[in-house]
Every structure is written in C-alpha cells, then in structure tokens.
Amino acid sequence: MVKFQIQDLNIWFGSTHALKNLNLEIESNEILSIIGPANSGKTTFLRMLNRLNELEINFKMDGKVELDKKDIKAIDTQILRKKIGMVFALPLPLPLSIFDNVAYGTKLHGIINKKKLQEIVEAALKEAFLWEEVKDRLNISAFKLSGGQQQRLCIARTLAVEPEVILFDEPCSGLDPISTAKVEEAMLKLKQNYTLVLVTNNVKQAARVGDRTAFFLSSELIEVDKTEKIFTAPSDQRTDDYIRGKFG
Amino acid sequence: MRKFKEFIIEKLILFCGLASIFFVVLIFLFLLKEGLTVFKTVNPFKFLFGKNWYPISEPAQLGILPLILGSLLVTVGAAVISIPIGVACAIYIAEVTPLKIKEILKAGIELLAAIPSVVLGFIGMVTLVPWVKSIFKLPTGLTALSGSIMLAFMAIPTIVSIAEDALYSVPKSYKEGALALGATHWQTIWRVMLPAASSGILAAVMLGIGRVIGETMAVMMITGNAAVIPHSILQPVRTLTATIAAEMGEAVVGSEHFFALFAIGIVLFMISFAINVTADLFLHKKK
Amino acid sequence: MMINSKRAEKIAFFFLFLATLLIVVPVGMIIVIIIQKGLPAINWQFLSDIPRQGMRAGGIFPVIVGTVYLVLGAIAFALPIGLLAAIYLSEHARDNLLNRLIKLAIVNLAGVPSVVYGLFGLALFVVFFKFGASILSGSLTLGIMILPIIITTSREALESVPYSFREVSLSLGASKWQTIRRIVLPNAIPGILTGTILGLGRAAGETAPILFTVAAFYLPQLPKSIFDQAMALPYHLYVISTQVPNVDEKIRYGTALVLLTLVLFMNLVAIIIRYRFRKKKKW
C-alpha cells in the first residue's frame, strides 16, 4: 500500500534549486534508505515530508506530496507532525528529565493523566530498546545519558506520540558502532508497525537496513529500487560509482 | 478553539513588536505638536541662532544659541577627556589584563555606568566644583570644565564597553597572523586590531558622546546655569538639557515659554536620533 | 630594533594601565566618600521617618516608598510589552524592512535623552490624557524609557536557546506558541530576569523623566492612589542638594548612599545572575 506519493516535487531556497522534479512512492511498513553525497537533496526531501522546510527562509515549493492520498499541504502541520515523527542527526534531548522528554509530545496533544503518561512512556522506551537501561532513573536530566542512549531516547520520544511514519536524518552519524547497531536493531523491529525513511551517509548502513534504497545526486533522484538490486546491479552508472566509493 | 487562541497570541506578539516604532513616532509627534507651536510667534531662524535667552522678560527673547554653544562646549570638553582614556582602557581590558581581572573590571565598568547621574552631580558639587575653583582661582567652580570632567566619567563606561566588544570581535586570525610574523603584542594592537575594530570603536565614541549630549542632572548641578554665550571653558554655561529641566517647572502650561522648551526638546531629539542611527550603522557595517 | 619595539610596548602598556587607573581610582573614591559621609546618617529612624523641618531633619521613608511604587509601575508596563516584543523579534528573524525599522526604533528609544522623556511624559500623560502629575504618569514614562533594555536583554536570552530545541518541539507537533511557552521561555528566564533587574535599577535612578510627571517637592504622607504625586529618591537628592539650604551634610550623603546602594545592588544582582546563567548552561 502506498503511504507517500510524491509527484513532480521541486524545492527552492531563494535562488537555489534544492530538489528537482522528484517522483517517488513510499510503501507502508517499509524501510526506505536514501543515500547520496552531501548537498544532493536527501535531507531537503526528508524535511519536506513533515513540512519542516517551511520554517526556512525563502522556501518555495512546487508539485504534490500526498500522505494516504491526502495533500500534506492541506493537513494542519500539528496533526501532520504527530503522524510523522523525526529523529535528527545529533542526539537532541530537550533540557528536561528522561521522563519529561518522552512525555513532551504526548502532553502537547492533550494527555495529562499521570498513569496514562507513565504507561505511554514505558511502552515507548521499551520499543526504543532503552527501558532496561533507564527504568530506575527516569527523573534525571536527559543530558546525563551517553550519546547512543540519548539517540534512543529521541526515538522513544517520537514513538510516544504514536506516529505512523518515522523519519531518520543520519541518526547514527555521531554514534559509536555499538550504539549504531542498537539503533539499527530498533529500526528493523519498528518496521512492523511504522513506515521508516532513513537518510544516511553510511552506504553500508543503507544496505543493512533498507528494504529499498534511493540514490540522490545533485538535487535529483537518480534511481530507486530494491536494496539488493541497487547494491549488486544498479541501473545507473553513477549509482554504481557512488556505492563503490569512486566519489562521495 | 485552540487555533483561535494561537491567532490572538500571534497578533498580540506582532502588536508588541511594533510597539517600539509606535512609541518613537509618538514621542516625535508630541514633541512636534507642542514645540512647533512656538514658531507661530517666533522666527525659527531667530530661535536657533538668537544670542539671547531671556524667556521670562517682557518681551521674551528666545534665542537658543547660548544653550547650543553651552552644550557643545561641555560635550567637546568631555569628548577630549573621555575618548583617549576610554579607548585606552578598552584596549587594556580587551588585550592586556588576564582573564580573571578582566571579568572584574568589566563588571566594575558596568557598575560605573549604573551610577545615577544625580548622584554624580551631587558628588561633583561637593568635590569637583570646589576643587576646580581653587585650582584655577575662579569666583566659582560651577563651570563648563567641571561639567566636562564629570560628563567624561559618564561617557567612559559606554565607550569602554562597546569599544571592548569591537576589539573582542576582531577575528583571532588577524591577531595570530601578526604575532606569527614577529610583531610585538602592542604593534599588533596598534597596527592590526585597532584598524580592524575602527568602525566599532567609532560607534562606541559616538554613543558615548550621545549620552553626554543627553545628560541633564549632572550638568544642571555643576555647570552653573548661566545662559550666556561662553568665552572660555572656565565659566558657567547652560546646556539645552539643563534649560528644559530647570525652567519647565516655572513655565505655565500653554505659554510661549512652555512651547519654546518643547522646541528645544525637538532639537535634542533630532540630534540624538542622528547620532544613534549613525552609530548603529557603524556597528553593523563591519558585519 | 627588537629592543626598541619591546620598550615601546612597555611604555604603551603603561599608559593604558594609567588610563584604566584614572577611571577606577576616582570611582572608588566616590564610593568611599559617599559611604564614609553617608553611613552616619543611616539608622532605622532615617529610613522609616518622614522628612521634618523642611527636609532638614527626619527621614526619607515616603521618598523610598515613592521610588518603589514608581519602579514597580514602570516594570508592570515594560515587562509584558517588552517580553512579547522580544519574542516577536526572536521568532521572526527575517531581515525585512519591518524588522529593521523595529530594531532602529529600539536603538532610538534607548538613546533619547532622559529629559526628552520627561517632556514627552508631560505632554502625553500629564496634559493630554489628563492624568496630571501622578505615579501613573511617572510610571508610564519610566516604563517607556526602560522598554529598550527589557527588549534587548530578553531577546538575547531567547536567542540563546538553541534553535534545535525549537525544531525538535515543532517536529513533535507543537505549535509555535506552545514551543515558546514550554521550551524557549523557561530556559530564557535567567536572562530575562537579568534584564528586568537592570531595568528596575535604571528606573530607580532617573530624575529627569519624573521631574514634571510625578515628583513632589514635599509630601509627608504616603501616596494613596496612582493618581497621587509622590516623592522619589533621585529627585529628593537633587532637591536637598540644590533647592533647600542648610540641610545637614549627613542627610544629603545619607540619601545619596541609599540611592547608590539601591541601584548598585540591583545591578550587581543582575550581573551575578547573568554570570551564573552563562556558566551553568546545560547545553
């Protein structure tokens, strides 16, 4: 089933044409990996899906992006962002306790019953594979956790608002291999219940985790296909060159 | 419902954002409203350049030249004292003092800036004025010089803190480059950093002078309040600001004198407007 | 050649040091003199009694109270408006014409001479709105005067909260205002507090704006409403130094000491809050 339909999407920041004529479908319950060199448009595309781009100066867009067949521009941003969560490149805990971090989004959307909040926080932390490590110290500042733990906290935070889609913007770029492995493990489990879009600079991570992989270059989508195919026999020579490390 | 609340809050925030423009315009308008009235009965040229300020004589003579010259004299005197000392102190704090002392000095300068002008006026009255009187053997120590010295004190914190900021924001690479070429610290400061920070230092000086021109209480208490054209710095003078403060209490609301004082207010407003806009331009030019 | 430039440096640095000394020493002397000559006057009676014998004796209680009323009134006006204005500027960072005009206006408000504020307050509040010389007129005038301080310091405090926090909050479905209320404001409070205290200190020490808008020469009983006139510390100091002859030196210095202590104390507190805030930032 198609979750996102993107048609003829063009994005400009001022005079910079950041994304050119993008056409893409994202399936429900898949993990779509997006690879490509810096400034290729990957993050611009990702941030279009939850309309975070609109906060930038001189943003302009053209084309259509549909979530479940509805134009995302017609959906209220607060509702949209509840459905589409985002995990950022650097772990970004809010200056609150662990518990309050996870509960932040939930409280925003009106749930204030203490018991319910506790249930939701626990469930989210378990889904993010962090519960065992923090269950005894939920009230300490989130900054006291290690980088990998903070990132899983951020995942739990997004899970707590019960989204349908989770966007990952280079989530492991600041993490050590063990933390990276834990985050990837979480992603693979999450696929069952959510649709995941992963932007990554780490080509091998894309191969490990993605069902399908998309290759962006110079603000354009070059090709998208099943991960296996992209990594063994891509249709475009540039994709092949990038994966082999001939440029990057 | 929540959307409506958001909308109201957004509008309230916008409204307050515009408040500062609103108030500046309002101040200017009210000054004009009251001040321009005087030009119905007094020729503007005579007002600005007339040599006699006798507002309560019959007929009143309303020429503010002595007041302008009074302000000018005191300001120039303060500038001559405060600019070299202020800039020197800024360099000292920015470049020479070790870190710990720097914080203390900066806090000290900030506290100096906070001393109310009436307190400085009072102290000036009881210490500086008698001192000037005895050193220069004058009939009175209430002179433009006393005013200049005290005003220099009030301008210096402004000059020091903004100039110090300007020096601090000179890119480290400039300084390191010069030192790497073998220049001494002082040569680096003199030939590289000061020129690089020049627009900021200029802005600092302008803002300091701006503060001096607008000063009221200290000058009122120590410059003698003689509204005559000054011939030397060792005689009493009257500034534009002191005139307003001293005479508004006696001017009848709606009288010619009343409007004349507002007209002086217009002059002051425009001078400070010009200085502040220019200084701000310099502060942002280097960026 | 090397030796010459080293000597030049030593001489230059000596003059720089001298300049700094030239500032620090007199300031120190001023404070010492005021403390020395004013302290004898300070006792409970001085602070709690009304002025007597045409202000040549007695205390300064109504004067202190008047200053407190004025300062509170000023901040009641300036803080809400200034804070919201600061929120506007920090959330709408676009460099368009409107924002540049707003910033220009703030710079100008900050530079208007205090006596011109007095004229403005007289024309608008005392005469036009017919509030008369009153705590209301004085507070509003002082409030507009300290508005730039509140706006500038609050804005710095708001902008010091990292943009990434805002992004995170928005990406979780918060509205702009919810983000401000729950994340930005709470973390900007120390900075806003600093600005508020600095504003209070400034309002407490200014004379010219209150000369024609509120200050009473002699008012032995306390003001009963905001439409009453009031005495105030800066004006009182001016009056007993210049308008009333034969006031005991002790009382003059004592009044100066009270005013100076009040203002310097507030500024010191503000500086300390700001210092600790900068050190303690958790991010």
For residue B11, is it within any domain?
A: no
Nearest CA in chain A to C91: A55
- Identify all chain C residues contacting B21, using CB atoms and an 8 Å cutoff: 101-102, 105
Give the count of beta carbons closer than 10 Å to the beta carbon of residue C113: 24
pLDDT of residue A86: 94
Q: Estimate to the nearest angstrom the gap between the alpha carbon of C14 and the chain centroid.
A: 35
Q: What is the mean pLDDT of residues A54-71?
A: 89
- Identify all chain B residues contacting C123, using CB atoms and an 8 Å cutoff: 30-31, 33-34, 262
Whether the CB of B131 is below 8 Å from some CB of chain C: the reply is no
pLDDT of residue C123: 92
Q: For residue C270, what pLDDT band results from cuts at 50, 70 and 90?
A: very high
Alpha helices for chain A (secondary structure H): 42-49, 77-83, 98-108, 114-127, 131-134, 147-159, 177-190, 203-209, 227-232, 237-243
Whether the CB of C211 is below 8 Å from some CB of chain B: the reply is yes
Token pair in block for residue A247 = 């440029």
pLDDT at B1 over 80: no
pLDDT at C280 over 80: no
CB–CB contact C119 B116 (8 Å): no
Whether the CB of C19 is below 8 Å from some CB of chain B: the reply is yes
For residue C37, is it within any domain?
A: no
CA distance A248 to A219: 14
CB–CB contact C12 B21 (8 Å): no
A190 and A28 Cβ atoms separated by less than 8 Å: no
Q: What percent of chain A has pLDDT over 70?
A: 100
For residue C142, is it within any domain?
A: yes
Min distance C259 CA to chain A CA atoms (Å): 40
| CA-to-CA separations, A29 to A24, A174, A181, B62, in angstroms, rounded | 16, 26, 20, 86
- Identify all chain A residues contacting C280, using CB atoms and an 8 Å cutoff: none
CA distance B217 to A192: 76
Q: Choose the mutation target among B102, B118, B268 for the interface with C, i.e. most C CBs under 10 Å.
A: B118
pLDDT of residue C3: 66
Min distance C116 CA to chain A CA atoms (Å): 39
Min distance C123 CA to chain B CA atoms (Å): 7
pLDDT of residue C155: 93
Domain housing B181:
49-285
Q: What is the mean pLDDT of chain A?
A: 90
One-letter amino acid of C96: N
Alpha helices for C39-133 (secondary structure H): 44-48, 61-91, 97-111, 114-121
CB–CB contact B31 C123 (8 Å): yes
pLDDT of residue B188: 86
Percent of chain B as helix, strand, coil, to the nearest 5: 75, 0, 20
- Identify all chain C residues contacting A95, using CB atoms and an 8 Å cutoff: 165, 183, 187, 282-283
Q: Which of C106, C124, C234 sits opposite B116 (nearest CB)?
A: C234
Q: What is the mean pLDDT of residues B83-89?
A: 94
CB–CB contact C88 B269 (8 Å): no
User: The domain spanning residue B269 has which CATH number?
Assistant: 1.10.3720.10
- Identify all chain B residues contacting C208, using CB atoms and an 8 Å cutoff: 216-217, 241, 245
pLDDT digits (tens, 9 = 90+) for B132-183: 999 988 888 899 999 999 999 999 999 999 999 999 888 888 888 888 888 8
Instruction: Report which of C283, C235, C196 is spatially closest to residue C60, judged by C-alpha positions.
Output: C235
Q: Tell me whether the omega of the peptide bond preceding residue B59 falls within 30 degrees of 0, making it cis.
A: yes
Q: For residue C2, what pLDDT band results from cuts at 50, 70 and 90?
A: low
- Identify all chain B residues contacting C238, using CB atoms and an 8 Å cutoff: 118, 121-122, 217, 221
Whether the CB of B8 is below 8 Å from some CB of chain C: the reply is no
pLDDT digits (tens, 9 = 90+) for C95-134: 788 888 999 999 999 999 999 999 999 999 998 999 888 9
Chains near B (3 or more Cβ pairs under 8 Å): C
- Identify all chain A residues contacting C90, using CB atoms and an 8 Å cutoff: none
For residue B32, is it within any domain?
A: no
Nearest CA in chain C to B269: C112
Q: What's the CA angle centered on A54, arms A49 and A58, to 5 degrees?
A: 135
The tally of domains found in chain C comes to: 1
CB–CB contact C172 A79 (8 Å): no
pLDDT digits (tens, 9 = 90+) for C31-41: 999 999 988 88
Q: Which of residues 239-278 of B touch C (CB under 8 A)?
A: 241, 244-245, 248-249, 253, 261-262, 265, 268-269, 272-273, 275-277
CB–CB contact B91 C23 (8 Å): no
Domain boundaries along the sequence of chain A: 28-52+76-243
pLDDT of residue C44: 84
What's the distance, Cα to Cα, between the start and end of chain C in Å?
A: 49
B221 and C208 Cβ atoms separated by less than 8 Å: no
Nearest CA in chain C to B9: C177
Q: What percent of chain C has pLDDT over 90?
A: 55
Nearest CA in chain C to A158: C172
pLDDT at B282 over 90: no
pLDDT at C1 over 70: no
For residue B178, is it within any domain?
A: yes
pLDDT of residue B256: 87
Q: Which phi and psi (to 5°) does residue A212 adopt?
A: -120, 160
Q: Which of B12, B30, B105 sits opposite C124 (nearest CB)?
A: B30
ipTM: 0.90
pLDDT of residue B175: 87
CA distance C133 to C210: 9
Q: Is the dihedral of CA B264, B267, B273, B275 positive or negative?
A: negative
For residue C72, is it within any domain?
A: yes
pLDDT of residue B26: 95
Q: For residue A199, what pLDDT band results from cuts at 50, 70 and 90?
A: very high
Q: For residue C283, what pLDDT band results from cuts at 50, 70 and 90?
A: low
Q: DSSP assignment of B242-258, as one string?
A: HHHHHHTTTSPTTSHHH
- Identify all chain A residues contacting C183, using CB atoms and an 8 Å cutoff: 94-95
For residue B16, is it within any domain?
A: no
For residue B27, is it within any domain?
A: no
Give the count of beta carbons closer than 10 Å to the beta carbon of residue B6: 15
pLDDT of residue B146: 92
Chains near C (3 or more Cβ pairs under 8 Å): A, B
Whether the CB of B29 is below 8 Å from some CB of chain C: the reply is no
Min distance A11 CA to chain C CA atoms (Å): 19
Q: What percent of chain B has pLDDT over 70?
A: 99
| CA-to-CA separations, C54 to B262, C58, C247, in angstroms, rounded | 32, 9, 9
Q: Which CATH class is domain A28-52+76-243?
A: alpha beta
Whether the CB of C237 is below 8 Å from some CB of chain B: the reply is yes
CA distance B267 to C174: 50
Min distance A222 CA to chain C CA atoms (Å): 28
pLDDT at C174 over 80: yes
Q: What is the mean pLDDT of residues C162-181?
A: 91
pLDDT of residue A160: 93
Instruction: Report which of B162, B172, B155 is spatially closest to residue B283, judged by C-alpha positions.
Output: B162
- Identify all chain C residues contacting B272, using CB atoms and an 8 Å cutoff: 108, 111-113, 116
Whether the CB of C174 is below 8 Å from some CB of chain B: the reply is no
The tally of domains found in chain B comes to: 1
User: The domain spanning residue C276 has which CATH number?
Assistant: 1.10.3720.10
Q: Which of C94, C178, C183 sits opposite A94 (nearest CB)?
A: C183
pLDDT digits (tens, 9 = 90+) for A80-94: 999 999 999 888 999
CB–CB contact C151 B20 (8 Å): yes
Q: For residue C192, what pLDDT band results from cuts at 50, 70 and 90?
A: very high
pTM of the model: 0.88
CB–CB contact C23 B85 (8 Å): yes
Q: Which of C23, C33, C120 sits opposite B31 (nearest CB)?
A: C120
Chains B & C: contacts with CB separation below 8 Å: 245
Q: Choose the mutation target among A94, A165, A197 for the interface with C, i.e. most C CBs under 10 Å.
A: A94
pLDDT of residue C282: 62
Domain housing C220:
60-235+242-280
CA distance A114 to A99: 11
pLDDT of residue C232: 92
